[in-house]
Structure 1
Amino acid sequence: MTITQEPTRATDPKLTLRQLLESDPPADAVTDRVALQRQGSVAVVTLSHPQAHNALAMASWQQLKSVFDGLAHDPTLRAVVIRGAGSKAFAAGADIKEFPRTRMTAADATRYNEFVAQTLRAVAAVPVPVIAAVHGLVVGGGCELSTACDVRIATAEARFGIPIGKLGVILGYTEADAAARLIGPAGLKYLLFSGELINAEDAQRLGLVQKIVPPRELATVTANLVAQICSQSAVTMRASKLVADMHGRALTAADTELLSRLSVEAYEGEDLKEGVAAFSEGRRPVFNQQEEN
């Protein structure tokens, strides 16, 4: 398998983020069913195997991990959007056709689950906001992947579920923890016990979705949120993600050190000065690395 971490740039440098999100990636941008494109300081990661509803093969999980590992160390990055190609699905779960060689023994299943867990941890480790723009089927591994993101924007026709009881497989700890942090243990149990695919409104009530939009508005609403993120202080956005993710757990020494570093960067950096000056002058603040999207 060929792993490429260098982002594929949008072919037209004048292409807006909304326009990029409204079109599927070109074939030469896809590696192992995953495409990575850039629009300025924003990365767009696309699950790109629409003929199989973007089913996630083991190679897909490996490529996703490689992509997000690379993004985690990109100092120019301000936000990430992850989406699914085509009109039918964000991702319809695992690629069951490869089960006979990937998940039919306990040892193989352990290896597979670790790939999934590593990928979800890599998504969560990116220090900037990661937005899942989801439509259609958001099922199994697709649903689990969405829970590793910071915010989920869904179309009104999206359907969510983790119907693993129909396959006889077991949900890994990392996947379960990511979902339960959003919808609670009882909500996760309902999805697992019922095997039901719930609609976007029910997903929003559970806390799985933050905003529901008509299908034709998904790209616009997502691009607008990203523009808001990029217009604000980068250090504030990073710290906001960090402190929100710390909820419900004891702080580690690494947490404390990182918070201290961000505090110094915020209160001794230029963003605070610019923010206060802009407020006093009644104008929009212009922070370093701010870009139009």
Structure 2
Amino acid sequence: MSDERFGSLILRREGGRASIVIDRPGKKNAIDEAAWRAFTDVAAAIAADPEVAVVVVRGAGGAFSAGADIGEFVTLAEADEARRDAFADAVRDGEEAVASIPQPTIALIDGACVGGGCQIALACDMRIAGATARFGVTPAKLGIVYPVASTRRLVTAVGPSAAKELLFTGRLIDAETAAAIGLVDRAVRPERLEAEVDELAAAIAANSRYSLAAAKRTVDALGDPEPDLAALEALWRGGFSGEDLAEGARAFLDKRPPRFTWRRARGPQPAS
């Protein structure tokens, strides 16, 4: 296991799994501007590592993230337009960096997951929550507006009506309710949270990197109004000429687990 620190974020690597840990437990992992910027650097480091098959995003100290660092909003309200734009760019870029990580991402959610914390969780591919987790989308309580991309992800996850209720009321909901409306994929007993995520991450990491990267690109692209179907077709066809297909087919016939060797540094490669 190796740890690398990017400000208040920790990038932890262990075998084929990487973890992004939001590490501001004294502030319930509130995400300040520096942390939003750090997400861009951490995501780039993960994308460049051919050994990483799956990524877990989590918080330190029993909370995912209580949201934005409200202390920054006080000074932001009195700042000039250029300063406010720089902050908005940092938030947008940090969230999109997480969403653009080419490997599958899992949010491990314990404790508070509010505001900006929900932004990061929704930018992940899957969300697993402990039963004691609490969720909220609270910009209306602060006089601000949830980002467009974040709102789109929220609507995609829970539907327009549930998204409006969360945004209009700013109320907190429990993990069971979050699972029922689709904000998280499932809620589990707190003592099972780590094991559930470990099992899911291990099941993903055992599979072909090519298949994982291509599947994520395809699913994400199909959510666009006009996906590049030719590029997606090339991803599909590319698998037939890959070393992973040869190994996967042999392993199936030999009745043994496959030992996939494809990495993004070698072809065939999903187009970027």
Using the size of structure 2 for normalisation, the TM-score is 0.89
CA RMSD, 1 decimal: 2.0
Q: Post-superposition shift, 1:37?
A: 1.3
Pick the aligned partner of 2:240 from 260, 267, 291: 267
Aligned length: 262
SS state at 1:133 partner: strand
Matched, 1:91 2:65: yes
Q: Which AA in structure 2 matches 1:93? A: G
Q: Post-superposition shift, 1:200?
A: 0.8
Q: Post-superposition shift, 1:32?
A: 2.4
Aligned to 1:126: 101
Write the distance in 2 (CA, Å) between the matches of 1:164 and 1:181: 19
Q: Post-superposition shift, 1:156?
A: 0.4
Aligned to 1:15: none
Pick the aligned partner of 2:2 from 2, 6, 9: 9
Asked if the contact 1:34/1:45 (under 8 Å) is kept, the reply is yes
Asked if the contact 1:30/1:48 (under 8 Å) is kept, the reply is no
Q: Which AA in structure 2 matches 1:99? A: F
Write the distance in 2 (CA, Å) between the matches of 1:244 and 1:213: 26
Q: Which AA in structure 2 matches 1:250? A: P
SS state at 1:90 partner: coil
Write the distance in 2 (CA, Å) between the matches of 1:238 and 1:93: 29
Aligned to 1:45: 20
Q: Post-superposition shift, 1:60?
A: 0.7
Asked if the contact 1:160/1:199 (under 8 Å) is kept, the reply is yes
Q: Post-superposition shift, 1:178?
A: 2.0
Q: Post-superposition shift, 1:99?
A: 1.8
Asked if the contact 1:76/1:289 (under 8 Å) is kept, the reply is no
Aligned to 1:67: 42
Q: Post-superposition shift, 1:195?
A: 1.1
Runs of 4+ in 1 over 6 A off after TM superposition: none
Aligned to 1:161: 136
Aligned to 2:266: none
Matched, 1:113 2:106: no
Q: Which AA in structure 2 matches 1:97? A: G
Matched, 1:100 2:93: no
Pick the aligned partner of 1:284 from 245, 257, 260: 257
- The CA deviation string for residues 143-172 of structure 1, in whole angstroms up to 9 with x for no partner, is 111000000010001111111111111112
- The CA deviation string for residues 45-76 of structure 1, in whole angstroms up to 9 with x for no partner, is 10001011001111110111111123223322
SS state at 2:261 partner: coil
Asked if the contact 2:11/2:21 (under 8 Å) is kept, the reply is yes
Aligned to 1:147: 122
Write the distance in 2 (CA, Å) between the matches of 1:73 and 1:157: 35
Q: Post-superposition shift, 1:213?
A: 1.7
Write the distance in 1 (CA, Å) between the matches of 2:77 and 2:35: 15
- The CA deviation string for residues 92-146 of structure 1, in whole angstroms up to 9 with x for no partner, is 0111112233344572443322211111111111111011001100000001110
Write the distance in 1 (CA, Å) between the matches of 2:5 and 2:251: 42
Percent identity reads 36
Unaligned runs of 5+ in 2: 264-272
Aligned to 1:177: 152
Write the distance in 2 (CA, Å) between the matches of 1:173 and 1:82: 22
Q: Post-superposition shift, 1:275?
A: 2.0
Distance 1:74 1:113, change over 3 A: same
Write the distance in 1 (CA, Å) between the matches of 2:70 and 2:218: 38
Matched, 1:235 2:210: yes
Unaligned runs of 5+ in 1: 1-7, 11-28
SS state at 2:64 partner: strand
Write the distance in 1 (CA, Å) between the matches of 2:227 and 2:187: 35
Asked if the contact 1:32/1:59 (under 8 Å) is kept, the reply is yes
Aligned to 1:198: 173
Asked if the contact 1:235/1:265 (under 8 Å) is kept, the reply is no
Write the distance in 2 (CA, Å) between the matches of 1:109 and 1:39: 38
- The CA deviation string for residues 217-251 of structure 1, in whole angstroms up to 9 with x for no partner, is 22221111111111111111112211221233234
Write the distance in 1 (CA, Å) between the matches of 2:172 and 2:106: 22
Using the size of structure 1 for normalisation, the TM-score is 0.83
Q: Which AA in structure 1 matches 2:244? A: D
